[in-house]
Homo-oligomer: A and B are copies of this chain.
Amino acid sequence: MFIGAQVSLYPMTSDFVEVIETGLEALSPYREHLRIETDDMSTLMVGAPEALIDAIRDLFAASARRPAHVTMHVTLSRGCPGEPDDPTCRCDTLIRSQDQPLDARKAAARDAVEAASVLGVGIDVQFSLYVLGQSHHMDEIYGCIDFLKSSGTFLRSKNFCTRLRGDAGAVFETIRQAFLRFGPAEGHVTIDLTASANSPSLR
């Protein structure tokens, strides 16, 4: 299994380099658990989903604590057949989910969001979940949408994606649960995610 993300942070301010540096500082505790490589367009993070999603959450929350409007784009991927197996990506949640029926997975996902830590930073997210290499991919998608609607972070459905809103802790836990509990444990699943904070459109 290979699990990781390409992450880009976009502060809408002329001081964008400083905001990005604040965000990157928040990654420090995770550097020993993740492979992190930055180029001019995005930062690759590879590792188990516990550290991976926490790191992405803290990167965005640290940037969102500053006053400027900031957004982030994340391409999450697990089980891509083109990537090599990586033992550091081992995930017990995925392994345990393997034989659970859809209803049990929805309930476990809701419990995890209820137990999420509170960061005190309100954010907006929209994302799409893609389950690949399966002829009945929409069953898992509709199961995931059921979970999202009862997650406490659901804002509304949009064309091609779902809007979430809430504390960064609950929102990123919702994302992690969607990513891990839906689609086959050994399958190829991806998420296309955009996060936003401090948008002037909402003032």
B10 near A13 with CB under 8 A, answer: no
B42 near A194 with CB under 8 A, answer: yes
A135 near B138 with CB under 8 A, answer: no
A75 → B minimal CB distance (Å): 5
Answer whether A196 and B11 are a contact pair too, CB < 8 Å, given A128-B190, A138-B82, A161-B6. Answer: no
Interface presence of A133 (CB below 8 A): yes
B126 near A137 with CB under 8 A, answer: no
List residues 1-40 of chain A with CB under 8 A from any CB of chain B: 4-6, 8, 10-17, 39-40
B132 near A131 with CB under 8 A, answer: yes
Taking CB atoms, residues of chain B closer than 8 Å to A174 are none
Interface size on A, residues (CB 8 A): 54
Provide the A117-134 mask, 1 if CB < 8 A to any CB of B, else 0: 000000010101011111
B77 near A160 with CB under 8 A, answer: yes
A44 near B158 with CB under 8 A, answer: yes
**Of the residues B13, B44, B160, B161, contact of A159 by C-beta under 8 Å:** B44
A40 near B192 with CB under 8 A, answer: no
A133 near B130 with CB under 8 A, answer: no
**Of the residues B14, B40, B81, contact of A199 by C-beta under 8 Å:** B40
- Given A6-B159, A40-B196, A133-B138, 19 other A-B residues pairs in contact with their CB atoms under 8 A: A4-B159, A6-B160, A40-B124, A40-B202, A41-B124, A42-B126, A44-B158, A46-B159, A75-B128, A75-B160, A75-B161, A75-B192, A77-B159, A81-B138, A82-B138, A83-B159, A130-B132, A133-B135, A134-B135
8 contacts between A and B (CB under 8 A): A39-B158, A40-B196, A41-B194, A41-B199, A77-B160, A82-B138, A131-B132, A132-B137
Q: Which residues of A contact B (CB under 8 A)?
A: 4-6, 8, 10-17, 39-42, 44, 46, 69, 71, 73, 75, 77, 80-83, 124, 126, 128, 130-138, 141, 158-161, 163, 188, 190, 192, 194, 196, 199-202
